[in-house]
Amino acid sequence: MSINVSGTEGYAESAQSLVEQWRDISFEEHHKPVMHLLPMHPACVLDVGAGIGTDAAALAARGHTVVAVEPVDALRVAGISQHPSPRIEWLDDSLPGLEILRSRRTQFDLAMLSAVWMHLDEDERRRAMPNVSALLRKGALLVMSLRHGQVPKGRRMFEVSARETIELAKAYGLRTVLNTRTESSQPGNRRMGVTWSRLAFVNDGAPG
């Protein structure tokens, strides 16, 4: 695991079990609330916190080119091994700065932050949002999911509301097009009462 990357605590230690757990998650089922918003034509996609690449692989199979950002070495290596697609580029980078990615001055049509945002504390979230929004082309889509409920042992998570996230996104020109609450797709999480906020924003190109 990369040194001193806030929010990745517990993931390297649990990498093998997580690889097994995540392998069977269906992209279509997991992202059902936002599927109707995703680009139909080939697009340039950013997947932050890509894990083992389940989403990146599904997006690549749909014809998109994907930059998969994952700071946990064990997960990134597993993803590269399991999904050796020429449409996926793997990158060792992390929020809130995304310094390596931003140095490239590339912009994306779609950015996905799935189960990522709640690993950042309030200050990190405020630092991260302008960095994420700067990576979006005008008219691009940002998709986020926020976890609510019991924190797994050894993990670093914070309770983050949809309202806070929407207000922060609005300050950087991101207009809300989806705000819904769902159950977890994983049976174990459902038993613990875990729910998710599913959010989507369009980059209007100017602060709200």
The SS3 of residue 72 is coil
Q: Report the C-alpha gap between 108 and 8 in whole angstroms.
A: 24
Residue 193 lies in a domain: yes
Residue 168 lies in a domain: yes
Q: Is pLDDT of 198 > 70?
A: yes
Q: Which domain holds residue 148?
A: 15-33+40-203
40, two tokens: 């139909």
Q: Is pLDDT of 178 > 50?
A: yes
Residue 175 lies in a domain: yes
Q: Report the C-alpha gap between 208 and 171 in whole angstroms.
A: 5
Structural domains of the chain, count: 1
The distance from CA 41 to its chain's CA centroid, rounded to whole angstroms, is: 21
Residue 69 lies in a domain: yes
Residue 3 lies in a domain: no
Per-residue pLDDT tens over the stretch 122-160: 999 999 999 999 999 999 999 999 999 877 777 788 999
Which of 88-93's residues contact partners 24+ apart within 8 Å by CB, and which partners? Answer: 88/53, 88/56, 88/57, 88/60, 89/65, 90/50, 90/53, 91/67, 92/2, 93/69
Q: Report the C-alpha gap between 69 and 88 in whole angstroms.
A: 10
Residue 2 lies in a domain: no
Q: Is pLDDT of 184 > 70?
A: no
Q: Is pLDDT of 8 > 50?
A: no
Residue 151 lies in a domain: yes
Residue 206 neighbours by CB under 8 Å, 6+ apart = 173
The CATH number assigned to the domain holding 165 equals: 3.40.50.150
Confidence band, pLDDT 50/70/90 cuts, at residue 3: very low
Q: Half-sphere exposure of 143 toward its Cβ, with a 13 Å CA cutoff?
A: 21
Element (H, E) at 158: none
Residue 128 lies in a domain: yes
Q: Is pLDDT of 25 > 80?
A: no
Degrees, nearest 5: CA angle 132-183-98:
15
